[in-house]
A and B are shown apart, each in its own frame.
Chain A
Amino acid sequence: ETGVTQTPRHLVMGMTNKKSLKCEQHLGHNAMYWYKQSAKKPLELMFVYNFKEQTENNSVPSRFSPECPNSSHLFLHLHTLQPEDSALYLCASSQEGSWNANEQFFGPGTRLTVL
């Protein structure tokens, strides 16, 4: 695997389900991000992990719970979601502190549908 991978690519869940999204980066980066992408809206930054420490959560509802066990893996745990949470969830990584600051590399995303 190369770059940033995300699984699953598509997920349909009911409002009472619990599921998790997984992201893995193979780039040796030290920062990882979760974004929510909705149609015709700017990307919404949800969570940032820098050196495995969460540094930003942007007032995301508690039904979204991130986990970063190491610098290569990032999870987004989902529970009791709402239909308006249906969106494309993108994971990204970057190497903070490098000369090409903030160039983020993205995964293909997970298309989430909440019924």
Chain B
Amino acid sequence: AQTVTQSQPEMSVQEAETVTLSCTYDTSESDYYLFWYKQPPSRQMILVIRQEAYKQQNATENRFSVNFQKAAKSFSLKISDSQLGDAAMYFCAFNIYYQLIWGAGTKLIIKP
């Protein structure tokens, strides 16, 4: 079965500090993409970062980076220098053909 598990329903971090959100997944496919999406309160879901499974190098987008461990099927998101605007639900997902398989999300709280 294709599944995504986000084991942390909620995380909190002090502003300016670093936080890591965990994600594990299960698939028998060898070629796929992994995604982290962000959904701020009452705002649209937007893509944060994407990783291609055949690439060993971890993706980075400004303050956001991933730790991709393909053998362990782990795909964590690190947010450095956390800002108040980072407060949101974060969803991990991977694609099977045209379909995205989603985790249940982690609510990130930023403490000022």
Binding site for B on A (CB under 8 A): 3-4, 31, 40-43, 45, 48, 50, 55-56, 90, 92, 94, 96, 100-109
A102 touching B100 in the complex, CB below 8 Å, given contacts A43-B91, A107-B44, A108-B43: yes
Interface Cβ pair total, 8 Å cutoff: 50
Does chain A have a CB within 8 A of B64?
no
Inter-chain CA distance A57–B50, complex, in Å, is: 26
| Selected A-B contacts with CB under 8 Å, 11 pairs | A40-B105, A41-B104, A42-B101, A42-B103, A42-B104, A45-B99, A45-B100, A48-B98, A56-B98, A102-B33, A108-B43
**Contact (Cβ within 8 A) B104 A104:** no
Number of interface residues of B (CB under 8 A): 20
Partner of A106, one of B9, B33, B46: B46
**Contact (Cβ within 8 A) B104 A108:** no
Inter-chain CA distance A3–B46, complex, in Å, is: 11
**Contact (Cβ within 8 A) B44 A104:** no
Does chain A have a CB within 8 A of B22?
no
**Contact (Cβ within 8 A) A43 B46:** no
**Contact (Cβ within 8 A) A48 B95:** no
Q: Which 9 A-B pairs have the closest CB atoms?
A: A102-B95, A106-B45, A42-B102, A43-B102, A108-B44, A42-B104, A106-B44, A103-B47, A96-B98
Chain B residue numbers with a CB within 8 Å of A92 are: 45
Chain A residue numbers with a CB within 8 Å of B100 are: 43, 45, 102, 104
**Contact (Cβ within 8 A) A103 B50:** yes
Inter-chain CA distance A99–B35, complex, in Å, is: 15
Chain B residue numbers with a CB within 8 Å of A105 are: 47
